[in-house]
Amino acid sequence: MEMKRMLYVTGLLLCTSLGGYAQEGNLIDVKVVNEEVKKQGSEVSLRMTLDLTGLRVGNQKSVCLHPAVVSADGTHEAVLAPVVVDGKTRSRVHRREKALTGASPATDNAYTVLRSGRESRVEYIAKLAYEPWMVDSRLVLRERMTGCLDCTAATEESTVKAPFIKLFTPRYVTPFVTPEREAVKVRNEVRVARLQFRQGKSDVDPRYKDNRAELETVTGSINVVKTNPDLTITGIYITGYASPEGSVAFNQKLSESCANALAEYARKDTHMDASLWHVAGMGEDWEGLRREVEKHPQLLDIDKVLRLIDECEGDKDACEKRIRESVSPDVYTRLLNEMYGPLRRNEYKIEYSVRSFNLEEAKKQIKTRPDLLSVEEIYTVAESYGKGTADYEEALRIAAATYPKNAAAVVNAACLKMEGRDVQG
């Protein structure tokens, strides 16, 4: 009797001889050919061909071949339907028993029943409910031989496949990206200076309020770059901004005057060439006003204020007047005192180029100022340590942290995580 069903295939064992495991009994004469196993969802499919060509069973005997899945520690097992091979006389006994009583306990639950010497191959197909213990388990074939009175004459077991199911471990292919060369390394630092001016004056007075500290911060940051032999300043950009209080024309002029005043003071103090300075006044900063209002979620009528800002087009003086007249005096006072003030400022950007570093210099630089290295230079440092070393991996992480918008740096850091099986991070 043969049964054929559709199976899913993952593993293929072309020919496994049980003789390699058994030294006695009949299992040495049984071979398993084209054994296949696959787990799909909650089900495990098994298919194997039992080659019984060399099996000879005595006339009075019966051999039961029981496939079974046994856990790695031997505490669990799943026994499958047996293949029964009867000798000539025993086959007649079982058929007579079936004819007289309608049942044959020795063969009723069998996968198939064969007559020794007549049929030599069995296509064995089975499906099992998957259990966690089946991982790293083994598939065995057990032989039970019975004599004329069905008393146990011999028992034997041989391993067919180990492991029966192997825990799947993904293998990630992680192609690292070679970073592009940065021909000229240009960096910049953007900061904010908030200076106070006397009524009706646009010149900078270091003695007035907190101006001295602000000015020292500005000139100090320029001098830090200026005195660094690895850096060359290529431009200093100062941009002035004003609040909406007052007319648009006045605020435009005010933002320009304040920016020029800061630039003139800083230029004289740092002795930087005049050609490096770029000054602009941007007038009223309405986008900045919206950001400042959003920082005060408890402000009364905040939704109304934000809507008025968003609807402001064209005549900014009319917009400011509409806000002033649409909100309560208390709300407008808060706008003046808490949200308009931060808008009056100068932003300054120091732009500079960075020289190239050799390997030894780059190894030192990566520990203190990795932002002065190009991604390519960081990778040169990494490769000098050797792939797989702790220093190599640390260099890749530094590249991604320093240049989060650089595709090569980010992709390679992700590849590093995947190689370490950190697919969540």
pLDDT tens, position by position, 11-40: 333 233 344 333 345 677 788 888 889 888
pTM (predicted TM-score)? 0.60
DSSP string, 107-146: TTT-SEEEETTT--EEEEEEEEE--GGGBT-EEEEEEEEE
Residue of 229, 252, 232 lying closest to 241 (CA atoms): 252
Give every strand in the sheet of 31-40, ordered side by side: 13-17, 31-40, 43-51, 121-129
pLDDT of residue 14: 28
Length of the chain: 425
pLDDT of residue 365: 97
pLDDT of residue 262: 96
pLDDT of residue 105: 66
Spans in the chain with pLDDT lower than 50: 1-24, 150-151, 423, 425
Q: Is 38 helix (H, G, I), strand (E, B) or coil?
A: strand
Q: Is 15 helix (H, G, I), strand (E, B) or coil?
A: strand
Q: Which residue has the tokens 């009364």?
A: 300
CA distances from 42 to 35, 36, 166 (A): 20, 17, 15
Q: Which residue has the tokens 């000015």?
A: 215
Residue of 158, 168, 147 lying closest to 11 (CA atoms): 168
pLDDT of residue 107: 66
Number of helical (H) and strand (E) elements in the chain, helices listed first: 11, 14
Interval 36-87: pLDDT, tens: 898 888 999 999 998 888 787 777 788 888 899 999 999 999 999 998 888 8
pLDDT of residue 102: 64
Q: Give the Cα separation of 32 and 22 in Å (integer).
A: 13
pLDDT of residue 145: 76
